[in-house]
Amino acid sequence: MAGPSLLFDSNVFYAAIGISSDHLHKDAEIATRLMELAQKHDCPLYLAQATADDINRATDPKLRTASTLYMKQWKTLGDVPLTDEFLTSAGYEGELSESDKVDARILATLNANAADFLVTQDRRLRQHANQAGLGDRTLSITSAIELLQQLFETAPFDVPTLEELKGYQLDVRDPIFDSLKSDYPGFDEWFSKVQKEHRDCYVVRSPDGSQLDAIAILKIEEDRPYDLSGRVLKICTFKVADHATGAKRGELLLKAIFNYARSKDVESIYVEVLPIYDTLIGFLETFGFVDRGITKAPMPGQDPEVVLVKQLRPPTIPGTLAPLDVHKLYGPGSLLLRDVFVVPIRPVWHDILFPEARPSDQLPFAPLPAGNALIKAYLTRSAITKLTPGATLLFYRSQDAQAITAVGVVDDLFRSSDPNELRRFVGLRTVYTASEIEELTASGKERVLAIRFRHDRVLENPWPLDELITRRIVSAAPQTIQQVTDQGALTWIAGEVNARL
């Protein structure tokens, strides 16, 4: 069974062959690990024609000569026409720079399904990929390693776990703060306040514990900045280190922040972001942060910061908002119930998708990327056709608990009998390995349904089977996805999750 095909951009190519203009490439070690995994699992490796052209234009003649020789060992894919429609969807406007032209051609090659995934360390390229709907198929080197490990490796591998700290427990010398020190004059004075005020922080450490891979620093503000409603939470710092953009670390941090905000009865969350960090802005907008057109007065020599706001309480009258829009803008933790479905899930898959819902008497384990994610994926052979984006999913843990334990909202759906297409759609968001996806599609006739859904909550008190039967949510232990149609059952569900019908 061949692994997914990978398309490398020029920087990842340079890292893979271990060279740069004046020394060993800084990403050579992790790129070598990716190459080992790709070769071990028969993953085809490609360069786009745009990447080949970019490499051939290298200004350093020694780098250009060496790269050209290495490039002969790789397969280069032909160009794909660039349409105005695609450029617009990817966020490219006006006259493109040479760099943007290269990036757009690479993304067009990915969009044409010439390869399954693009591997790049370029944050701007990943941002354009997100805008084009290719975000889950555009990976950092670390993400690509984790994808192949999840698909093929049976031995445990390093995945991030969250740790809660106070500000005084942070080490200002950690490399994750280097860019903040250069971006923000007065960093040292501000960091001293973080320590003295014992601000709440969430961190993700590197596998060896030597440095931080990700960090969020929080502050409850009582003076209602920017005329925001209710109790306000400021995200003072939100950063994932460039080397660690894998395993959904950003989503893991954001999930913790949303849980923290709900526990503190926060109504508004805001963050101030320099416009150069457009990847972060795009990421936050995916989860309901909105640019209100507010800007913070600039510091000397800098552009004004963009102020992004997330509301956690929907308006009393939701108006024309669809259920998916309500959840995106105000969730997790805010639901508009229209169509509700019960989804049975075996304990082994449940533990991976919802690690925080594992029974307390089980041994601890490090969650896989799908467990960290705010957007997850579930595969099923169910022939159900009534599922649509915005539908509410009630996950029923079968076998041992026999109870509904978690809630999600459908984000997107895809049906296929091609395992490669399914892998592209779910990426790191699923619990399934490559062999399990192959098994699901083994007949070649059954079209497997991939459900991408937004995490809403894990129920503090699960709903047991006898309660579900009494409330007419189900008539017996569910064996496949089924819709809840009884109006009394829907009313009871809405009351339990504080949702509107």
Single out the residue of 303, 299, 241, 294 nearest to residue 270, CA to CA: 294
Check residue 364 and give its pLDDT: 45
User: Largest Cα–Cα distance in the chain?
Assistant: 76
Quote the pTM value. Answer: 0.82
Tell me how far apart the alpha carbons of residues 246 and 143 are, in angstroms, rounded to a whole number: 4
Tell me how far apart the alpha carbons of residues 196 and 206 are, in angstroms, rounded to a whole number: 26
Ordered by where they begin, the domains of the chain are 6-152 (3.40.50.1010), 162-313 (3.40.630.30), 340-496 (2.30.130.30)
Question: Distances from the Cα of 239 to the Cαs of 170, 179, 251, 381, in angstroms?
Answer: 14, 10, 11, 38
Question: Distances from the Cα of 51 to the Cαs of 12, 113, 184, 410, in angstroms?
Answer: 10, 17, 35, 36
The count of C-alpha atoms lying within 13 angstroms of the C-alpha of 357, restricted to the half-sphere facing its C-beta, is 29
Check residue 206 and give its pLDDT: 81
| Torsion sign over Cα 473, 455, 327, 480 | negative
Check residue 189 and give its pLDDT: 92
Tell me how far apart the alpha carbons of residues 351 and 355 are, in angstroms, rounded to a whole number: 5
The answer to whether 5 touches 116, Cβ cutoff 8 Å, is: yes
The answer to whether 181 touches 70, Cβ cutoff 8 Å, is: no
- Residue 357: CB atoms within 10 A of its CB come to 19
Report cis status (omega within 30 of 0) of the bond before 332. Answer: yes
Tell me how far apart the alpha carbons of residues 38 and 45 are, in angstroms, rounded to a whole number: 8
Can you give the pLDDT of all 501 residues of the chain as single tens digits? 678 999 999 989 988 887 655 567 778 888 898 999 999 999 999 999 999 998 888 777 777 787 888 888 889 999 999 999 999 999 998 888 999 999 999 999 999 999 999 999 888 898 899 889 998 899 888 888 888 888 887 655 555 678 999 999 999 999 999 988 888 888 999 999 999 999 999 999 887 778 898 999 999 998 888 889 889 999 999 999 877 766 688 998 999 999 999 999 999 999 999 888 888 888 899 999 999 887 776 666 667 889 999 999 987 765 688 999 999 999 999 999 999 999 999 988 898 889 887 765 554 445 567 778 899 999 999 989 999 999 999 999 998 899 999 999 999 999 999 988 998 898 888 888 888 888 888 876 678 999 999 999 999 999 999 999 999 999 999 999 999 999 999 999 999 998 887
